[in-house]
Amino acid sequence: MNNLKRLPVEVIGNIISYTYSPQPEDLLMDIHMYHNSMTNIHSMFYNTFYGVDNTDIYKIELLDALILYANNYIPLHDGYHEDFYMIWNRFPLFKKFMESVDINQTKIDKYIQNIFSKKSINTQINLLWGIFTYGERLNFIIDHLVV
């Protein structure tokens, strides 16, 4: 850093311009939407279950609602809907596998059973919310608005 101070301002300006890595506008918008919408859904579900002895119960309800939404509102005991797998295929771990649909579904099932289900509830919520598209997040919020 001390060596940088010895250089002319014009040279420093050129060097610093190479240190920035601008992100695509759509990615920045998605990050902004992720953060704001995450805050909103936590508030919505917390306010719905406020007064319950264990206030963290809202997180369980939120996770259940996210999973049910991802499964096209079909109860899980009826199995996973193809939309559920389409959403999970966006997860970077499965994105790289361009195998048959059946193989990816098997990998997703194993991941959910052996890894995802063992993560903290906050991690599960964050991960699911992260692989939803902007439109899916918006639809989820609209579906769960309490009027």
Q: Where are the beta strands (DSSP E) in 42-141?
A: none
108 within 8 A of 85, measured Cβ to Cβ: yes
6-59 pLDDT, tens digit each: 878 887 777 777 777 778 888 888 888 999 999 999 988 888 876 666 668 889
128 within 8 A of 66, measured Cβ to Cβ: yes
52-98 pLDDT, tens digit each: 666 688 899 999 999 999 999 999 888 888 899 889 888 877 766 65
Question: Alpha-carbon distance 104 to 29, whole Å?
Answer: 29
What is the Cα 33 distance to its own chain's centre?
11
Q: Name the DSSP letter for residue 133.
A: -
95-110 pLDDT, tens digit each: 666 555 566 788 888 8
* Residue 99: per-residue pLDDT: 59
Q: Which contiguous run of DSSP H or E holds residue 102?
A: helix 101-114
146 confidence band (pLDDT: 50, 70, 90): low
Residue range 123-145: average pLDDT? 92
Tokens 């009826």 correspond to: 78
Question: Alpha-carbon distance 7 to 72, whole Å?
Answer: 60
Could you tell me the pTM of the whole model? 0.77
Tokens 């193809």 correspond to: 82
